[in-house]
Structure formats: C-alpha cells, structure tokens
Amino acid sequence: MENNTGIVFNIQRYSIDDGPGVRTTVFMKGCPLACLWCSNPESQSGLPEVTYRYTSCKRCGTCVKVCPEQAVTLSDDGVHIDRVKCTVCGECVKNCLPEALQISGKGMTLDEVWKVVKKDADYYEASGGGVTASGGEILAQADFVAALFKRCREAGYHTCADTSGFGDPAALLKILEYADLVYFDLKHMDLEAHKQYMGQSNELILNNLELVVKTGVPLVIRAPLIPGYNNSDENLRAMAAKVAEIAKDSVVNLLPYHRYGANKYRMIDMTYQLEDVPELTSDELLHAKEIIESYGLKCEISK
C-alpha cells in the first residue's frame, strides 16, 4: 500500500482503555503473530476478508447462490466460506439482507482516517486524551501509522502506539519519532513457549523493547495473563526481572484473560482453542501483582 493508504478494520471513538483520557483508536489490519488467545482474530490477516455473524443469519441461502467463486456453503450450523476461493468481491455481502455477512478491513487514505480522528479534538483536549494506533500489529503498516502520528503531533493530539513489538526495528523507529507513549506487550519470556503460543520467537520483541527504552519515549508494559499458559511464577519473575533491568521506570499493566473475542473465531471460520480456560481469580491476580512489585516495579491490574 502507498504511504498515505492503510488497511483499517475498525476506528473506535470514545475509547478509554487504550491510553490516557478519551481517545480514538485506529485498528490496523495484519499481524505476524497468531496468539492462541487473540481477541481480534479478524485482525490477523493483512487483507480484507468476509466475516459471518451466525446470530443474524436467516439461513436463506442467497449468499450461496450469488457467489461467483462458489466459495460459500450452507450447512446446519450456518454459512461457511472457503477462504482460498473467496476473492472478497462483496457479492454475498451486498445480497445479505440481515447483514450477517460483512467485510472486515478496508483501504483508507490518511485523509479519510483523519476526518474521523479530528471529530473528537475537543474531547482530547478536555480529557488529556488523543489518538491510539492498535491492531493487528501497527509495525506491519508503519509508514501509514507514522504519517497519522505526524499529523496528530502537528495538531497537538497525544499519540499512543500499541504494539506487540514484533516487526522491523526501522519500522518501529518511524513510529516512535511521533509517538508520545508506547503500550508494549510482553506475552511470554521463554523463547520456545513463545513460538508455541504466538507462532514466533520473542527475540525480536525483546530487542525492540530495548530500542523503545533507548529512545526515551514513555513506556507501559502490558502483560496478558492466560491461566496455564503464561501466568506461572517462573514466567512472571522472568518478565519482571527483564523489565527491572532495562525499563525500571515503566508501569506493568496486567491484562486478565477474558473470552470477549471467542465468538469472533466462528465469524472467520477459525476454531477458538481456549474454550476450557478459566478466568483468573482475584487472589491469582493479586499474587501476580505482588511478584511484579517485588522487583521494585509499579504494577496495575486492568479491569
């Protein structure tokens, strides 16, 4: 894509969970990781794709009839889309009266995104908020995000880069030049476990974490806690030790496991693999917090 065009799958206004104050969060499509607990599985592919909301479907079969690629089938449990055959032509979406079929992700110019972002300038100023770029993984569309942040800085809007840290260091530096805050995910400290649960090694992520620290951009470490996967005392201590070593002034934000994105997997013909994983108890969360704080770090638990 050209620098002034990106693939966006959502723009969320009035967000209060993606940085300080009231914010507009621009969700970029595409992520090189495949975390088992991803709450936005529709963000993983870098291209637009058809999604299916089975609760809205009337099982009329119109989508099957109009698909020129014969990529749509209908069974007892609803519509299924052959993702290899599908060209995202949109015929099924246009002909779906209950709007059970949608296209997730579209190309947007910088001006189109900016038109949405600037609507809430008064809220940014009053609340100390601003604009957050999230995903997906923003490093996959670094030129677009950097251009958006540059325009935000010129307008006086606070910017927050929400990243997994997996991407080209040069891409990260482009964004950091115009970022006022970084939300940086740490999911697992063990290299092999990271490969198993996220599909990629954590070496590049840890190197990029050090790069963020060196630039001096304010940093918040965000750590999703998934029972049985990364909430062990061993992993928490390893993470705390690493943060204390290179970013001791950063806040560690613990993100308790939730199932909010589980239903999205069926929308794109994927299987959610953590059906039997329970949520963490209050005592387990407090225990994790105490471990992080024992390394001299400030730690918060997100709601």
Which tens digit of pLDDT belongs to each residue from 94-112?
999 999 999 999 999 999 9
Which tens digit of pLDDT belongs to each residue from 202-220?
999 999 999 999 999 999 9
* Residue 199: pLDDT over 90: yes
How far is CA 208 from each of CA 95, 170, 203, 247, rounded to the nearest angstrom?
45, 10, 9, 12
**Amino acid at position 17, single letter:** D
In the chain, CATH 3.30.70.20 covers 49-104
Q: What is the pLDDT of residue 46?
A: 95
Return the closest-CA partner of residue 224 out of 33, 8, 28, 14: 33
The overall average pLDDT reported for the chain is 96
In the chain, CATH 3.20.20.70 covers 5-45+106-301
Q: What is the pLDDT of residue 1?
A: 40
Enter the tokens of residue 51.
Answer: 């999604």
> What is the C-alpha end-to-end distance of the chain, expressed in Å?
36
- Residues paired with 51 in a beta bridge: 102
- Give the model's confidence band at 3: pLDDT under 50 very low, under 70 low, under 90 confident, else very high: low
Q: What is the pLDDT of residue 2?
A: 45
Mean pLDDT of 160-169: 98
* Whole-number Å distance between alpha carbons of 24 and 240: 30
Say whether the peptide bond before residue 136 is cis (omega within 30 degrees of 0): yes
Mean pLDDT of 114-136: 97
What CATH number labels 5-45+106-301? 3.20.20.70
What CATH number labels 49-104? 3.30.70.20
C-beta of residue 207 within 8 angstroms of C-beta of residue 169: yes
**Amino acid at position 127, single letter:** S
Return the closest-CA partner of residue 145 out of 111, 178, 102, 170: 178
